[in-house]
Amino acid sequence: MNIGMLWFDNDPKVNLDSKIERAALYYRDKYGSRPTLCFVHPSMLNGKSGAVAAPPTNEKHNEKRFTAGGIEVRSNQSVLPNHLWIGVNGGA
């Protein structure tokens, strides 16, 4: 994903899946397409059941991923905690 929308949500009462769903609804309304990929800080996946380690590559170490509402969610150190970088996956 080269272009996406940065979404901030620090509500401690809302789980990560709901945060992603809210961001996805806003994205769809604003841009007219459904997002397929979301990056979050690894700390946001602490205790997240279903998050599995991605296959190791030279570029991505300890990346975790799971699916929430049909959106692939990946951890990424570059994304600040409580932020979601959401958009459409343009490649592998």
Structure confidence by residue, pLDDT tens digits, 56-71: 444 555 678 888 889 9
Total count of domains within the chain: 1
For residue 54, being part of any structural domain is answered with yes
pLDDT of res. 57: 46
Q: pLDDT exceeding 90 applies to what percent of the chain? A: 66
Say if residues 1 and 71 touch (Cβ distance below 8 Å): no
Residue 74: pLDDT over 80: yes
With beta carbons less than 8 A apart as the criterion, state whether 63 and 72 touch: no
- Domain membership flag for residue 16: yes
**15 in any annotated domain:** yes
17 lies in some domain: yes
HSE at residue 25, side-chain half, CA atoms within 13 A, is: 5
Bigger pLDDT: 90 or 35? 35
Tell if the pTM clears 0.75, that is, is over it. Answer: yes
